[in-house]
Amino acid sequence: MRQAGIRIGLLAMLLGLVGCGIVPDLKGPSNLFNLTPKSSFTAGLPRVQWQLVIDEPIAAGGLDTARIAVMPTPIEMKYFADASWTERAPRMVQTLLVESFENSGTIVAVGRQAIGLRSDFNLKTEVREFQVENFGAKVVRVRINAKLVRQPRQEIVVSRSFESTQPVADGTMQSAILAWDEALGSVLRQIVEWSITEGEASWNARRTRG
């Protein structure tokens, strides 16, 4: 009778929490993962004097989340049950882009719009692939479309898509995250080098024209 009374009491407490709009987390926190910025680049990149604002990337609804995506088939997307990114994937990519540009040592100023930076260029990106593919060979695929926009006229200077895939060594979450870090790192490096090179060419061409 006492055990039955305890169970009834616990049930009443849980129902009370739900009624207040609070759902207790009985599983505990998920495993949280983050990725790293790029810190090594091709030698000989120009040092530029213009400033760059990196907009938060846009992403399809299935990728605009902190949940970690996996595709068991080419037409189906799911999420790992007990793992997530430390923040929404587009926000994480924006942070890593800013840090990668800073690590390149080539640009006078780079940051988010929120810091009030006056931009000569904006980098607008779209996250189009950001998942583990679990059909055929298991790989992580990252694909980001980037547009370099000249200010203040909002003129698109160049646009390009960058993609990288990395094999997942085994079935562990750790292996998937390591492959993700490699795939995104390759894309980050390409975007930084492309933006610096193309932005400097546009900057110099505009100065030449006066």
Residue 91 in contact with residue 35, Cβ under 8 Å?
A: no
Task: Convert the pLDDT of each residue in 97-137 to its tens digit.
Answer: 999 999 999 999 999 976 777 899 999 999 999 999 999 89
Output the six-digit token pair for 76.
Answer: 């189906």
Pairing between strand 48-54 and 107-111?
Answer: parallel
| Full DSSP string of 53-84 | EEPPPEE-TTTSSSEEEEEEETTEEEEEEEEE
Cα–Cα–Cα angle for 162, 100, 30, rounded to 5 degrees: 85
High-pLDDT (> 70) share of the chain, %: 84
d(CA 66, CA 25): 17
Q: Side chain identity at 122, as an amino acid letter? A: N
Q: What is the pLDDT of residue 171?
A: 86
Q: What is the pLDDT of residue 113?
A: 79
Pick left, alpha or beta for residue 28 (phi over 0 → left; psi -120 to 50 → alpha; otherwise beta): left
Helix axes 173-209, 89-104, angle to 10 degrees: 60
Which residues have a Cβ under 8 Å from the Cβ of 163 and sit 6 or more positions away?
129, 141, 142, 143, 144, 187
CA 123 to chain centre: 14
Task: Convert the pLDDT of each residue in 45-81 to its tens digit.
Answer: 999 999 999 999 999 899 999 999 999 999 999 999 9
